[in-house]
Amino acid sequence: MISRVRKKTSSSPKEALPFATFVQRQYWPAAKATLSAVWADTVEHYHLPTLIKEFGASPLADIEAEQVERWWGVLLQSNLAPATANKRLFRLKHIFKKAVEWGYRADNPARGIRKQRESRGRVKWLSNAQRDQLVQRANPELRLYLVAAQYTGARRRSLLELREQDVDFERSTVTFRATKNGEDYSVPLHPKLRELLQERLTGQPEAYLLPRYTAGALSRAFKRLALRSGLTDYRFHDLRHDLATRLACHGANQRLIMDVLGHRDPRASVRYTHLSHAAIKQTMEACLG
């Protein structure tokens, strides 16, 4: 934890309130209600603990921009991925923003800090043999997630939140509501996935369709499966890239890929339609055999 010299002494109850107490009692109960269950779980168990460890004992009103900037500098020197670091910075900014709005602070000491530049993201895909091997080696519960990811391209937390009411078997569509950009989107229900999901119907619209995992447990289970299958650098999220790349190599245009992945920004999907010559060659061989 970064130490600093106190420049003032808090007097009123609000000024003396520790950062940790504000986050746990005031901020998080209000903020949690605005997030999907899966994303709230990630914030609560992954991002907030690190912020509380860093700033928790400091009076909320006494935390200054210099202290926050030193924390950010240390974070940038760590092995944390830029996207993850930016999510943590966003959460800290939001905490201070609410503290200002609710009268606990006069200003936001994190406001001037700029997020780290993120890469365009990697594009990972599998051969047909690798894809089949993953499904065959997975346990029955994990297998359902693999098939769902392979035929919808949905994000992990969207699959975790999928409920019976989100699948329309008459129109053969599946709708994802726990999305990153906050908007619902639908994709066609592939026959192979349709068959598996029908077996899990209970007649209760609010019931979850896929086996219950936490986000972390699902990622760890998939990582172990990938390693057993000889994939040393492959994550669950890469199944999303795999579907998009398969669509691209079969002639799907950028608009179609955007719709399937639920993207709003064309820049998020352009990577799949502008592959290098080597990537095109490898993808064609993987898709066409």
> In Å, how far are 21, 75, 116 from 81, measured between CA atoms?
28, 10, 10
For residues 176 and 262, is the Cβ–Cβ distance under 8 A?
yes
> What does pTM read for this prediction?
0.60
pLDDT score of 119:
64
* CA nearest neighbour of 238 among 251, 252, 225: 225
| Sign of the CA dihedral with 36 first, then 42, 45, and 51 last | negative
258 Cβ partners below 8 Å, 6+ apart?
264, 266, 268, 269
Q: Where are the alpha helices (DSSP H) in 153-214?
A: 156-160, 191-198
pLDDT score of 286:
63
From first to last of its 289 residues, the chain has per-residue pLDDT tens of: 544 444 444 456 676 899 999 999 999 999 998 887 767 888 998 899 999 999 999 999 999 999 999 999 999 999 888 888 999 999 999 999 999 999 999 999 999 999 888 665 555 778 888 889 999 999 999 999 999 999 998 888 889 989 999 999 999 999 988 566 567 888 889 999 999 999 999 999 999 999 999 888 999 999 999 999 998 888 898 888 888 877 777 767 666 777 777 666 555 555 555 554 555 566 566 666 5
Instruction: Determine the angle formed by the axes of helices 215-228 and 128-137, rounding to 10 degrees.
Output: 120
pLDDT score of 120:
58
